[in-house]
Amino acid sequence: MTASHRAFMRARSVIAGGVNSPVRAFKGVGGEPIFMQRGEGAYLFDVDGRRYIDYVGAWGPLILGHADADVTRAVADAAARGLAFGAPTEGETELALEVRALMPGLERLRFVSSGTEATMTALRLARAVTGRDKVVKFEGGYHGHPDSLLVKAGSGALTLGVPTSPGVPAALAAHTLVARFNDADSVGALFAQHGNDIAAVIVEPVAGNMNCVPPVAGFHERLRALCDQYGALLIFDEVMTGFRVAAGGAQALFGIRPDLTTLGKIIGGGLPVGAVGGPAALMDQLLPDGPVFQAGTNSGNPVAMAAGLATLKKLKAPGFYETLSQRVAALTVGLSEAAARHGVAFTTNAVGGMFGLFFAEGPVRYYDDVMRADADRFRRFFHGLLGLGVYLAPSAYEAGFVSAAHTPADISATVAAAEQVFSRLSGP
Ligand SMILES: *Cc1c(COP(=O)(O)O)cnc(C)c1O
C-alpha cells in the first residue's frame, strides 16, 4: 500500500471527496490522486518519494516552476512583516503598477483572492453599468464557479460530465446565453435576437478549459465589433492566459482591447490572487467611489502581493517568452513525431507557455473537435506517463503548462517516455 493511497483514504474521511477541487481527484482518468510532498523547479515529488516532470504547474500559476528562489524569498520577507492587515499596503499599488505596465488597458484594478471572484465581479460590474442582465459565454468555457457562468462550463465540469450544476437557479441560468467558441456567427445570432439585453460577452481568449484551443483569425475582432455595435462589454477572462501566452496576455498577443479583464493564477505566483481591471470610468463604478458592491477580507493580502510582484518582475527578462514557446514547441513537435512513428492519431495546439494534446486528427478548433478526441487513449497515455515520471493534468480537457524551469533535457525525457507509451497504445 502506498503512502499516497493512505493519505487519500485519510483525506476522504474528512474532506469532501478527499480533494479541495474536483479535477484533482483523477475521476477523468481513473485511479487515485497522487499526494505531493514538495516541488522544485520543473519537478514534483510525491509522498512515496517518486519524482515527476510537472506539466500542471499548479494549474497555471507556476510559470517560474516550483519554489522559485526569488519568489520564496519575497514571500518569506513579506510574511516576516505580518501576514495580513486589512488596511491598505503599498505592495498592492506596486503589483497594480506592474500589471498596468504589462497590460496598459487596465487603468484601474481591484484585487481579489481567486479567478472566480474576479469573473463574478466583472459580471456584476458589466450588468450594473449596462443595466442589462444577459451574458454570453462559450460552450466549454470555464470562468470559475459563479452561478451565472456554470452553464455548459469546461474544466472540472466537463471532466465530471456536469455541464450545469444542480443548485444554480434556473431563473439565473436563463440569463446566460451560450455560443460556440471560434464561431463568431453564433455570437452574432445571439446579439440579433437578444442584443438589447446582453450586458457582456465573456471569453477565454485562448480556450484553456476544454483542453487548449487558440482563436481562429478574426474571431476576437468580430466579438469586439459585435459588442461595440450593441453596447455590450467584452470581458477577456485572462485568468489563465494572462502572463502565460505573452507578458501582456492574449490582449497584447492578438491586439484586442477588451473592456474588462479578469486575472488570476500567475498574478499570484502560486498564492491566491485574482484581479479585475479596465478603464477608470468603468472600474470607478465599484464601491467605494461607485455604487457596485465588491469586497474581500483577504483581498490584496501583503504576502500574496509579494509573490505576484516577484513573479511578474521575472517575466520581463529578455527572451523569456521566446524561450518558453521554444520549449513548448520542442515538446509538442516531439510528441507529434513520436505519435506518428507509432501510427497513433494525435495532434497538438500551443500558444506561448500553454499547450493541448489530443488523440484525434487535427485541426482542433471547436468544442466538438475536442469532444471527438479519444478519451480512452488519453487515459492510457496519462497513466503510462505517470508511471514513467511525467505528470500531466488528470483530464483530457485541461491545458498543459511549461515553466521557465523546464530544460531541454526535461522535454527530451518527456518525449522519450511518451514514445514508450505510444508504442503500447498502437498495439492491440
Ligand atoms: C482557473 C480559471 C478560473 C477560476 O479561477 P479560480 O482561481 O480557480 O477561481 C477562471 N477563469 C479561467 C479562464 C480559469 O482558467
pLDDT on residue 332: 98
pLDDT digit string, tens, across residues 41-97: 999 999 999 999 999 999 999 999 999 999 999 999 999 999 999 999 999 999 999
Give the cell for residue 347: 495532434
- Check if 142 is active-site: yes
pLDDT on residue 152: 83
Confidence of residue 159 (pLDDT cuts 50, 70, 90): low
Q: Which residues pair with 242 in a beta bridge?
A: 246
Alpha-carbon dihedral 242, 247, 248, 254, rounded to 10 degrees? -90
Confidence of residue 250 (pLDDT cuts 50, 70, 90): very high
pLDDT digit string, tens, across residues 96-149: 999 999 999 999 999 999 999 999 999 999 999 999 999 999 999 999 999 999
CB burial string 286-309: b at 16+ within 10 A, e below: beeebebebeeeebbbbbbbbbbb
Q: To the nearest whole percent, how much of the chain has pLDDT over 70?
A: 98
261 lines ligand 1 (CB under 6 A): no
pLDDT digit string, tens, across residues 314-342: 999 999 999 999 999 999 999 999 999 99
Is there a contact between 61 and 265 (Cβ–Cβ < 8 Å)? yes
- Bridging pattern class, strands 198-203 and 134-138: parallel
Atom of ligand 1 nearest to the CA of 274: 7
* Rounded mean pLDDT, 399-408: 98
User: Which listed residue (27, 134, 152, 265) is catalytic?
Assistant: 265
Q: How is the chain split into domains, by residue range?
A: 3-67+318-425, 69-315
Give all strands of the β-sheet with 176-179 in edge-to-edge order: 108-112, 274-278, 260-263, 233-237, 198-203, 134-138, 176-179
User: What's the N-to-C CA distance of the chain in angstroms?
Assistant: 30
* Rounded mean pLDDT, 406-423: 98
Confidence of residue 163 (pLDDT cuts 50, 70, 90): low
pLDDT on residue 171: 87
- Check if 265 is active-site: yes
Mean pLDDT of the chain: 96
* Rounded mean pLDDT, 399-423: 98
The set of residues, in sequence order, having a beta carbon less than 8 Å from that of 401 and lying 6+ positions away, is 55, 56, 57, 59, 60, 62, 63, 244, 353, 354, 355
Is there a contact between 89 and 305 (Cβ–Cβ < 8 Å)? yes
Q: Is the pLDDT of residue 306 over 60?
A: yes
Q: Which of 3.40.430.10, 3.90.1150.10, 1.10.1060.10, 3.40.50.12280 is the CATH number of 3-67+318-425? A: 3.90.1150.10
- Check if 230 is active-site: no
Is there a contact between 151 and 119 (Cβ–Cβ < 8 Å)? no
- pTM for this model (two decimals): 0.97
Q: How many CA atoms lie within 13 A of 44 on its CB side?
A: 21
Q: How many CA atoms lie within 13 A of 294 on its CB side?
A: 29
Q: Is the pLDDT of residue 417 over 70?
A: yes
The verdict on domain 69-315 having CATH code 3.40.640.10 is yes
Find the angle CA(212)-CA(406)-CA(365) to the nearest 5 degrees: 10
User: Which listed residue (54, 237, 259, 410) is catalytic?
Assistant: 237
Q: Is the pLDDT of residue 428 over 60?
A: no
Q: Which of 71-75, 172-176, 272-276 has the lowest mean pLDDT?
A: 172-176
